[in-house]
Amino acid sequence: MELGFIGLNDLAGVEADARFAAEHGFAGLEYNYWGNFEELTADTVSQMRNILDKHGVRASALGLWGWNHTSKDPAEREKAHAMLNRGIEYAEALGAEVLITGGGETGGSLEENVAEFVKVFPPFLEKAAKAGLTLAMYAVHGNSFFTSLESYERVWEHLPEITIKYDPANWQHHGDDYLAVVRKHGDKVGYVHIKEHLYVDGDLISQPAAGMGDIEWGKVMAFLYEHNYQGYLSMEPHGELWSREPLREKMLLLSKKYLGQFLL
């Protein structure tokens, strides 16, 4: 396993994060886009890659969030597919190992969503594989029917190569057993987000460094080892306080120090 974190998308931020990563022993940086992905250009991606190469830091993943790849609206689906194709191309140009995206949402039953996903995604899986990319599907976020462990299990009956972008905090906040996900299907985890949640009286009040909240990271890591996970642990600075300075860099360094006890 290797450590990384979610980076800033503007070129100045890419430069600062790449320098920080190199100085402190982070192996990779992840970049995520929602609707603003449409504005990202090949030239900017090329400049990002040059910055990463200069500092000897890799791109761990590119995330494409919120686009509805199985929408019943033809225009919306066409646009989402164009962005997904571009996402694969840009991820390859960055040298990324993983492309994160959602499964789409038809508005119908789980059966309908699975059937549509299985029909739509094989060409994208083939293109991603040729680009050297693993496709990791995010859970419990916008425009994705992957809102339960069952939704993944139903897809694996047809497309076993699909993997999970696993974020214990997101599963916990959704009301699910986040340990059951990695205990049962750690072999299907393609990418891991490290985000901490701290609850008081049932309310999420802070998202500090790993080890300072309620996620049982030792148990998460135990199951990752049992399933021989060898990918990234990508730290996600999140929330109003810990996602920005002066706490952002502290969150990254404290999380790295805490997780280091579980790494060989």
Q: Which pLDDT value is given to residue 93?
A: 98
Number of domains in the chain: 1
Nearest to 215 by CA among 193, 241, 248: 193
What digits encode the pLDDT tens for the residues 150-173?
999 999 999 999 999 999 999 999
Give φ, ψ of 108 to 5 degrees. Answer: -105, -155
Distances (CA, A) of 50 to 9, 34, 54, 90: 14, 23, 6, 13
Label residue 39 exposed, middle or buried (CB < 10 Å: 0-12, 13-18, 19+): exposed
Label residue 198 exposed, middle or buried (CB < 10 Å: 0-12, 13-18, 19+): middle
DSSP E strands, the chain: 2-6, 28-33, 58-64, 98-101, 134-138, 163-166, 189-194, 198-200, 203-206, 232-235
What digits encode the pLDDT tens for the residues 63-109?
999 999 999 999 999 999 999 999 999 999 999 999 999 999 999 99
SS3 213: coil
Q: Which pLDDT value is given to residue 142?
A: 87
Q: Which pLDDT value is given to residue 99?
A: 98
Which amino acid would we find at residue 50?
N
CATH of the domain at 194: 3.20.20.150
Identify the domain containing residue 240 by its residue range: 2-262
Exposure string for 106-115, b = 16+ CB within 10 A, e = fewer? beeeeeebbb
In a structure prediction context, what are the per-residue pLDDT tens digits for the chain, which is 264 residues long? 999 999 999 999 999 999 999 999 999 999 999 999 999 999 999 999 999 999 999 999 999 999 999 999 999 999 999 999 999 999 999 999 999 999 999 999 999 999 999 999 999 999 999 999 999 999 998 899 999 999 999 999 999 999 999 999 999 999 999 999 999 999 999 999 999 999 999 999 999 999 999 999 999 999 999 999 999 999 999 999 999 999 999 999 999 999 999 999
- pTM of the predicted structure, to 2 decimals: 0.95
Give φ, ψ of 6 to 5 degrees. Answer: -75, 125
